[in-house]
Amino acid sequence: MSGMRVVIIGNGIAGFSAASTIRGLDEQCEIAMIARETTPLYSACVLPDYISGKISRDHAFVRTNKDYSRLHIHTHFGREVKEIDPPRRTVTLDDGRCLPYDRLVLAIGSDAVVFGEHKKGIFKLKTLQDADEIIDHDGQNAVVIGSGAIGIEIAIALHSRGYKVTMVEMMDQILPLGLDQRGADKVRGMLEERGIAVLNGERAIRTLGGERVEGLATDKRELGCDTLIRAVGMRPRAELARQAGIVIGETVGIRVDVHMETSIPGIYACGDCVESPDILTGESYLNLFWHNANRQGAVAARNCIGQTTHYPGSENIVNLDIFGNHVTGFGFTEEAAHRFKDIPALGGTLADLSIIEHEQDGSYYRLVILGDRCIGGQFINLTRDIGMLWGIMVKRTSIAGLLEMFANEALMDRRPWLHRIRPFFRKK
Amino acid sequence: MEEKALVLHPERCTGCHACEMICSLVHDAECNLTLSRIGIMKTNGGGSKENIPIVCQQCRDPICADVCVMGAISRNEGTGALVVNEDLCVGCKTCVIACPLGGVLYHHIKGCAMKCDLCSGDPECVKSCLYGAIEFLPMDEWGRKARLKGAENLGRIFEILYK
């Protein structure tokens, strides 16, 4: 439909990916983009690098304002959406303006989970403004609550700014979504070696101090600090959708179908604000990763303009640089596989679960195998062949099938993982 | 511009490294195997010696570009090559680990991702290969067949990943 009006709410990667995909396929339609922030697209993933001084502020920007005019996107930056009116097909902005739409794309993203009341010296890291505030803040002693990828990256960034850093994690290990205990202990060792204190198994209870933060009380002790970072996780910003009557899933993300369409026809959603099926299990999940948002935006855009496209599912991959050590984790950890309630959906039973792990010269890998398929992997100081293992996980290729293709001894020699896997399968 | 792609013939490769030398020379002004975008995998197991050239296949639906948090990998419309914008790249290596073929590498001097850019449409490695192990062919039916045949020789791994 030419001359169609598409309104996109949000200017993160999902929103921009949707806008640029639509423009690439349809030169006629009108695209309007509404965003809270006034800047063009930047990468939230590199903000820790900006805080540490590894890259400049300008370097965090992925696009410039020119890109928006080149793509003929009408931008309404610095504006909030007050209301979506699905029957009349309009959105109302905070300045009272009312934009009509034929298709609406919600790419409103996520926000950091709140911890306690706000005090001076308490920060989160989600937006460029948050990063600016952390840089402007003058402190020496920081506590980071949460040890996910963001928590670890902020801890390292603050450490490189000269802070004394302590991390507090409720679970018994750090990076609980990416690594199993053994890998996590290695990463913990790398952090401690550089002077970042890691407190596992401690629950943060409340913040101390008056107007200004002076410390954090955990269930075991009181930690003094002048800077507190809350990195306990991200939560979809689904409130706007809820008010419009759009169905929200149990994970508090907006529920969408395989076409990224919400419960209201003509309204699509993509990025951090939606719950999406895991590529292995099909179970709805919050997979708040850049590449998922990027692909969801493109799928939503195609369906918007009538090109039926399916979203295959989301994949998780954590990729961290810990003081020069490369840490990667994808798919299920053993811990997560044990917790997962519907194991048959993964393609086996818990009895079929096995682990292949190997450690050599400072490098380490651990593959989580269910039946004859790889369902996850963790790697330290290795980059080689991870893409292949990730590929066979996503494509559900059986390892036996892969081994057959690698019956060629010559190729096997160059694939260390497969050498580890092979004897394991012979044993069975 | 007519769509062309690199076609690899492992059975013709002698492992002389000329392509790697010329690749690093034209991109980084030095002959350095660690700075080459194309790589020869040498195997010597099971009694059969093999040399397998490995280079980015310029995928239609590239995972390296999808995972890049800086949007630094994009398609050059002129050549059809996926190129790394080195000003944007922050060197996080996500693309390096995501590529199933080992087509993206890490430039350890510049600290950013590096990959084949098809030399602006005239690949030097093709010209440097004395044995015809690397060809730059139009992607018509014949070119596709040649590419598939080369892929089959790569232990049929391409077949799994591109199904």
- DSSP per position, B8-22: E-GGG-----HHHHH
Looking at the structure, tell me whether residues A100 and A128 fall in a common domain. no
CATH number reported for the structural domain that contains residue A22 in this entry: 3.50.50.60
Interface test with A, best of B51, B57, B69 (most A CBs within 10 A): B69
How far does B39 lie from chain A, in Å, by closest CA? 13
Work out the minimum CA distance from A152 to partner chain B, whole angstroms: 15
Instruction: Report how far apart, in Å, the C-alpha atoms of B14 and of each of A275, A389, B129, B130 are.
Output: 51, 29, 10, 9
- Percent of chain A scored above 90 by pLDDT? 73
Cβ of B93 within 8 Å of Cβ of A405? The answer is no
User: Is A387 within a domain?
Assistant: yes
Name residues whose C-beta falls within 8 Å of residue A2's C-beta, 6 or more positions apart in sequence: A26, A28, A29
Question: Minimal Cα–Cα distance from A392 to chain B, Å?
Answer: 7
- Find the DSSP H helices in A161-314: 181-193, 239-243, 290-304
> A296: nearest CA in chain B?
B66
Tens of pLDDT, residues A23-73: 999 999 999 999 999 999 999 999 999 999 999 999 999 999 999 999 999
Q: Which domain range does residue B16 map to?
A: 1-55+118-157
Q: B102–A384: do the CB atoms touch at under 8 Å?
A: yes
Chain B residues with at least one Cβ partner in A under 8 Å:
41, 43-50, 63, 66-67, 69-71, 88, 90, 92-94, 96-102, 106, 155-157, 159-161, 163
Mutate to test the interface with B, among A302, A327, A386, A415 (most CBs of B within 10 A): A386
Assess if residue B163 is contained within a domain: no
Mean pLDDT across chain A: 90
Contact partners, residue B58, CB within 8 Å, separation at least 6: B5, B6, B80, B81, B82, B116, B118
pLDDT band at B47 (very low <50, low <70, confident <90, very high): low
| Overall pTM surpassing 0.90 (yes/no) | no
In this predicted model, what pLDDT tens digit does every residue of A374-419 receive, in sequence order? 899 999 998 877 888 888 888 887 777 666 655 655 555 555 556 5
State which residues form the domain around A130.
Answer: 114-230
Query: Phi/psi at A56 (nearest 5 deg)?
Result: -85, 170
- Mind listing the pLDDT tens digit for each residue in B65-121? 999 999 999 999 888 899 999 999 999 999 999 988 788 999 999 999 999 999 988
CA-based nearest residue to A125, from A143, A148, A151: A151
Rounded percentage of chain B residues whose pLDDT exceeds 90: 47
> In terms of pLDDT, which residue wins out, A189 or A404?
A189
Domain count of the fold of chain B: 2
Q: Is residue A251 part of a domain?
A: yes
Query: What are the chain B neighbours of A43 within 8 Å (beta carbons)?
Result: 69-71
Q: Is residue B41 part of a domain?
A: yes
Asked if residue A199 and residue A142 are part of one domain, the reply reads yes
* CA gap A412, A378 in Å, rounded: 21
| Domain membership flag for residue B162 | no
At B48 the pLDDT is 58
Rounded distance, CA B129 to CA A308, Å?
44
Are B51 and B62 contained in the same domain? no
Is A312 a domain residue?
Answer: no
Of the residues A411, A412, A413, A417, the best mutation for testing chain B's interface (the one with the most B CB atoms within 10 Å of its CB) is A411
What confidence tier does A344 reach under pLDDT thresholds 50, 70, 90? confident
Measured in whole angstroms, how far is the alpha carbon of residue B27 from the centre of its chain?
14
Closest CA of chain B from A341, distance in Å: 28
A418: helix, coil or strand? helix
Does B83 share its domain with B126?
no
Q: Rounded distance, CA A351 to CA A108, Å? A: 41
Contacts of A59 in chain B (CB under 8 A): 88, 90
Buried b (16+ CB within 10 A) or exposed e, A51-69: bbebbeeebbbbbeeeebe
Across A57-66, A104-113, A265-274, A378-387, least confident range: A378-387
Same domain flag for A20 and A101: yes
Verify whether the Cβ–Cβ distance A384 to B45 is below 8 Å.
Answer: no
Contact assignment for A388 to B67 by CB distance below 8 Å: no
Please name the member of A59, A295, A390 whose beta carbon is closest to the beta carbon of B98: A390
- Which residues does A382 contact at the CB level (< 8 Å), separation at least 6? A326, A328, A363, A364, A365
Q: Which value, to the nearest 10 degrees, does the dihedral of the CA atoms of residues A252, A255, A258, A264 take?
A: -160
- Measured between CB atoms, which of A290, A328, A412 is closest to B97? A328
* Helix pair A149-160, A181-193: axis angle to 10 deg: 10
| CB < 8 Å from B in window 310-339 of A | 317, 319, 321, 326, 328
**A117-127: per-residue pLDDT in tens?**
889 999 999 99
Nearest to B161 among A54, A391, A410 (CB): A391
DSSP secondary structure letters along A357-384: EEEETTEEEEEEEETTEEEEEEEES--T
One domain for residues A103 and A239: yes
Residue A173 tokens read as 């290990």
